[in-house]
Amino acid sequence: MNLRDYFARVPLLLTMYVSLILGIGVVNLASAARVLRPNLPWVQLLWIVIGIAVALILGAIPASRLRSLLLPGYLCAITLLGGVLVFGIQVKGARRWIELGAFRLQPSELAKVATLAMVALLLSKRSERNGYTLTTLFRPLHPSRPLFLSGAMLAFLYTQWEVFDLDWLTGDRYDLHEGIFAGLALTLVLVWLVASLVRYFGEQEKPALIGPIECAALPFVLILVEPDLGTSLMLVLVCAAQILACGIRMRSFVYLMGSTGVVAGVAWTFIMHDYQKSRVINFLNPEADLHGAGYHAMQSMIAIGSGGQLGKGYGLGTQTQLSFLPENQTDFVFSVWAEEWGFLGVCVLFILFFLLLQQLFAMARTAKDDYVVLICVGVAAMFFWHMVVNVGMVMGVLPVVGVTLPLLSYGGSSMMTLFLCLGLVVNTQVWSDVEDDEAL
Amino acid sequence: MNLDNQKRSVVTSQLNLLLAFAGLVLLLLLMRAFYLQMFRGEHYLALSRDNFIQTIPTAHSRGRIFDRFGTLLVTNRPSHDIFLTRAFLPDSERSIAKLGRVLGMSKRRQSELDAALLESLEGQEVRKLSFAHENPFGCEALDQFLREDELAGVTLRNRAVMASGCVVTIDNQVFPSRAAVRQRLQDALDYDPRKFQAAWDRAWRRSRRGQYQPFRIVSDVDEGAANQVRLEISRGLLPGIQMNDSMRRRYPFGDRASHVLGFMNEVSSRDLRQNAYKHYHLGDRVGRRGVERVFENYLRGEDGKRFYIVDAKGREHGAFHHHLEELGLEPIESRGGHDIRLTIDEELQEWTEGAFLGAAGSVVVIDVNNGEVLALASFPHYDLNELAGRGSGSAWLKLSRDALKPLRNKAVQEHYAPGSTFKAFTGVAGLVHGQIRSSSVKTCYGNFFIGRQRWRCYNRGGHGPLSLPTALKVSCDSYFYNLGVNLGLDRLASTAQHFGFGRKSGIALDGEVPGLIPTREYYASKGGGYRRGYVVNASIGQGDVIATPLQLANAYAALVNGGDLFRPRIVHEVRDATGLVTQSFIPEVIDHLDIKESDLEEIRRSLSYVTRAGGTAYSLRDVEKYGDLARWVRKSGVVIGGKTGTAQVVSLSKNIDHLDPEAVEYHKRDHAWFVGFAPIQEPEIVVVAMTEHGGFGGSASAPVVANVIRKWHELKVERGGAE
């Protein structure tokens, strides 16, 4: 396949929709950042160029080779997630970034893509004829799993023990307590590792070392303890969409949702005290506490509502230009757009996003391979949930969590994530009916 | 792994379901946008305008008050109030929690730190609080945090060897905590700590009602402290504290004419709910008494308004002015209050206030030819500056509890039985209704009978045969008992009403009481019916007859000027800020009595005998008793006419001589009246002095009146007779 063939295979409609949304994003950013950081749109454009390059390179890697690269990529992302907890810099109470010279890398963003792809791969390897049941979903049900889970739990408690008021356990002996917790957690994880390896090498038919659930659970926990509620939530929602696309039996689905709901509801209403609840909320979502979430949500709703039918005009949004709108280059870009372009602008953006989703689903429908279906669905879910949570937040129907609006918010890490996703999709389309040896 | 056909169909249906779900969610969100933008658009537009359009009232000064010659009596001075806004005050617990979270401290350490910080604030000399922190990650995190996000007052040492921990220092003067702000404010104001703490606590409690509303901590701080506070606010050391500059009243003469000028205080929240106060805001001051109250609308002026476009930090922004034009918001110029020129003569007022002899009472000086009040004093009076500044609340409370009722303007708000001063009007009634002529003679036997009921003349032995002039001179009771009975109550009342008795004089002062002249109708409506004895009492100004000192002065003015009753005036004219007269109050005759000029002349002549030999105020000429004053009365050539009066407060048992003040306890003593006018040939002023519980009018009040008339005469000569 030569370069011309390659570009001919890059899906045209998808590219068009993405470009339109990106165009809107840069134009909007130019207005949002005009007062405080006027060069921001240019930086964003640079990120877009880099992103396009990354996506095209990813697309050009032969499909089978890319699949074999997914596991190393995933492990790499997990390592970075572990690393950020130790070496990460702390900003406003959360460790989310690794400083690399002038840049700040947010490993959780990379982990989202890596996990999405890994889950797609793992799910596509096992097909259940009538959809997953609870037992098949959590298979292999192995004695080591409880060990892993309790190890993870203890590690979690160790990092954030103060939230749960464990003073009574430890008295004044800080060191002793830290030692016990860290040691116990490490031991359990090691035992799990050993047991799994023994099992893996001990049996004739090699079972998968980790199932899709664990594959998603590990980064989920690591991101949650940073803490970063928004990103970990995104991860879960994306993986859930992938599992749903594979099919899950209705009864199992109902059991799963029902039991989760009941346990969480009972714990929340009957067991936890108010101060514990507020601590958990503050812990999971420190931005809410530091900025005064109510104020931000209110200013955002004022910005959107005051836009009216046709908006206040480009560069004339008072909420934006007079800095009443917080974080207007990142989390609240939608409010800027809605204020300056009104309901008309909002409709245009919604239609473009829906067309993008519809395009991804069309690709999934025509795919010949489960892996391709799951990649398309996962990427669609990524766009969809980011958009829904972000827009729901700025319109005051969902709580304030730090989730960006895909393709519109400023930020290198999130831009890279999206282009990596698009690269995965392009890859599936380019190589859908091409054998590996026809590579460029 | 390729999909077989059966599996494919399953996947397709799942995918359609997922896409439908996504579409539905997007639709719901779009509906939310529709609701916000199309349905509630106007509401949010208004809210956004509230954000960036700031309305700042432009201050104006209240009108000043001058005396008739332009002496400044009331003016304004700058004043500074200090407020707190709950939402903007820092919270040390939050600040510590922030610090604690960064450092990785336990809850217990945090609360210990909070306590230590509070303690360090109590003891003034400890400004900095240091502690070692052994968690290297925490130290590093704090280092990062301090670079990124301001946490004022926290510094970090041993950065180089941070691997083994660090020393964190908190400057309690800068660290964002409420206690620190309070302490700093107290230092800047230099107030008594206990009082300041109480004021702070009160404001803090009140602020629960509105997080973003300013609540006043202290009012009217002096200029030096205000400058200090302003400096610290500008340095950002007092977050949540605001200072408001306004104007307050200043009275160059302190307690001079306090009842005429009146005072102001703050509008209450109850007032603000009323329509009359719709142009007032919380914290505004409003005239409560006297001219300040009656002429509130002239004096007040109007706040101007300016509209600014501001950004989120409250800084003015150059653009977006088209919003102001769309809303039609144009700056409104403030309008200063109008100045008022009173009829009061400051010098005469000063003299009047100094001349009064009793503990409580009032003096009114009125110009007989136009009804202008030249001086009006009520006693005890009070220092207006005390009611205008800090601590006005307690000053007011003290005054309001005083048994002598200093807050009451006794010249218009209090009425008394006019006593013998009323006899002149009984005499006039007799002349008008043809009952007597001035030469008619009646005989006083010391007693007067209706049936078996007896009234006594104060002269138990009887005055013998009397004509009207003599009866007035000696103030014979029997003569007027007789005349009253012959006249009948209603005829007496109708004449008295022509002199303004029984109704408000209409002076521009607050709380005036009407007094009372009883009629047959009055007794009929009161129940119990009319008895002939009532007219006997009424004829000598006792019984149910009551009048204010001002009414009495005005009635005498009509008596001596030929029968014209003027509306008494306290305000000459109102001028706007440029000095242009906007309203001028001209003399207004509100009643006239038809009476022969010769009869009035007769009455006037009779009243001049009062200060001569045999008259009830003859003692004014007693040099031994009154010294200079008596010499002036004898020699000046200014003849003072007048009438004494004694208003009985309680009926005393017969064996106590109620004319001897020393023999009776204060609250049971009679009120002492004296009405004087001068000069006798062509009267120009009437002076009324009422000394509460002063005993006999001739000794308690007559010298006051004579003294005032003397000063008036001196001033007249001094000013070359211009007045």
Taking CB atoms and an 8 Å cutoff, what residues of chain B touch A337? none
Residue in chain B lying closest to A128 (CA): B7
Largest CA distance in chain A: 70
Query: Residue holding tokens 């120009």?
Result: B684
A329: which 2 tokens?
């280059």
pLDDT at B3: 47
- Report CA torsion sign: A17, A18, A20, A25: positive
DSSP A98-158: EEETTEEE-HHHHHHHHHHHHHHHHHHHS--TT-B-HHHHT-S--THHHHHHHHHHHHHHH
**Chain B residues with beta carbon closer than 8 angstroms to that of A354:** 22-23, 26
Contact (CB, 8 A) for B538 and B592: no
Judge whether B132 and B105 are in contact, CB under 8 Å: no
In this complex, is the C-beta atom of B9 within 8 Å of any C-beta atom belonging to chain A? no
* A165 in reach of chain B (CB within 8 A): yes
| A/B interface, count of CB pairs below 8 Å | 159
Measured in angstroms, the CA of B25 and the nearest CA of chain A are apart by: 8
Distance of alpha carbon B571 from alpha carbon B291, whole angstroms: 8
> Helix or strand or coil: residue B309?
strand
B262 HSE (CA, 13 A, CB side): 22
The average confidence (pLDDT) of chain A is 79
Shortest CB distance from A90 goes to which of B34, B41, B141? B141
What is the rounded average pLDDT of the residues A211-220? 78
Which of B174, B75, B191, B93 has its CA nearest to residue B127? B174
**B48 and A395: CB-CB below 8 Å?**
no
Contacts of A84 in chain B (CB under 8 A): none
Cβ–Cβ < 8 Å for B686, B326: no
* Phi and psi at residue B217, to the nearest 5°: -95, -60
Mean of the pLDDT values across residues A377-392?
A: 94
The nearest CA of chain B is from the CA of A136 a distance in Å of 18
Tell me the CA distances in angstroms from A335 to A393, A404, B432, one per residue in order.
10, 12, 90
Specify which of A181-195, A247-261, A382-396 reaches the highest per-range mean pLDDT: A382-396
Strands B339-342 and B65-66: parallel
Q: pLDDT-based confidence at A169, cuts 50/70/90?
A: very low
Helix-strand-coil percent breakdown of chain B, rounded to 5? 45, 20, 35
Which two structure tokens, joined as six digits, stand for B33?
């946008």
- Partner-chain contact B37 A318, CB within 8 Å: no
B327 touches chain A (CB under 8 A): no
**What are the sequence ranges of the domains in chain A?**
3-140+208-438
Angle CA B263–B266–B269, to nearest 5:
145
- Which of B36, B102, B323 lies at the smallest CB-CB distance from A93? B102
∠ CA B301-B303-B304 to the nearest 5 degrees? Answer: 125
Does B51 contact A361 at a Cβ distance shorter than 8 Å?
Answer: no
Question: Are B108 and A306 within 8 A, CB to CB?
Answer: no
More confident residue, B246 or A356: A356
Of residues B351, B700, B279, B17, the one with CA closest to residue A253: B17
Q: Confirm or reject contact between A438 and chain B (CB < 8 A).
A: no
Quote the longest CA-to-CA distance of chain B: 146
Q: A66: which 2 tokens?
A: 């890319």
CB count within 10 Å of CB B469 equals 18
Put simply, whether A303 touches B (Cβ < 8 Å) is: yes
Contacts of A309 in chain B (CB under 8 A): 37-38, 41
**A319: contact with B, CB 8 A cutoff:** yes
Ordered by start, the domain boundaries in chain B are 91-176
- What does the pLDDT average to over A261-281? 67
State the pLDDT at residue B610. Answer: 82
pLDDT, averaged in runs of 10, over chain B (723 residues) = 50 84 94 92 87 75 90 89 80 75 74 77 67 70 68 68 68 76 84 87 82 78 86 80 83 89 86 83 84 90 79 72 81 85 92 88 93 92 85 84 89 90 90 84 85 82 86 87 89 91 90 90 83 86 90 92 90 88 88 84 85 78 82 84 83 50 71 89 91 80 90 88 48
Pair B663, B696: CB distance under 8 Å? no
Contacts of B135 in chain A (CB under 8 A): none
C-alpha R_g of chain B: 39
> A385 pLDDT exceeds 50?
yes
Adjacent-strand bridge partners of B569: B372
CB B11 within 8 A of CB B3: yes
Q: Which residue has the higher pLDDT, B512 or A251?
A: B512
Is B320–A397 a contact, with Cβ atoms under 8 angstroms apart? no
DSSP 8-state secondary structure symbol assigned to residue A219 = H
Q: Which of B15, B30, B320 is nearest residue A364 as measured by Cβ atoms?
A: B15
Which residues does residue A219 pair with via DSSP β-bridges, in sequence order? none
Q: What is the DSSP letter of B25?
A: H
Which residues 287-316 in chain B show a CB within 8 A of chain A? Answer: 309-313
The more confident residue out of B679 and A144 is: B679
- A169 close to B (CB below 8 A): no
Indicate yes or no: CB of B29 within 8 angstroms of CB of A388: yes
**How, if at all, do strands B128-133 and B65-66 pair?**
unpaired
Instruction: Classify B184 as helix, strand or coil.
Output: helix
> Does A365 lie at the interface with B, CB-CB under 8 angstroms?
yes
> Are the CB atoms for B180 and B92 separated by under 8 Å?
yes
Here the tokens at position B714 are 């001196």
Chain A environment of B32 (Cβ under 8 Å): 392, 395, 397
- For range A198-204, the mean pLDDT: 64
pLDDT at A86 over 90: no
Range in A101-105, A290-294, B305-309, B551-555 with the lowest mean pLDDT: A290-294
| Closest CA relative to residue B485, chosen from B443, B429, B547 | B429
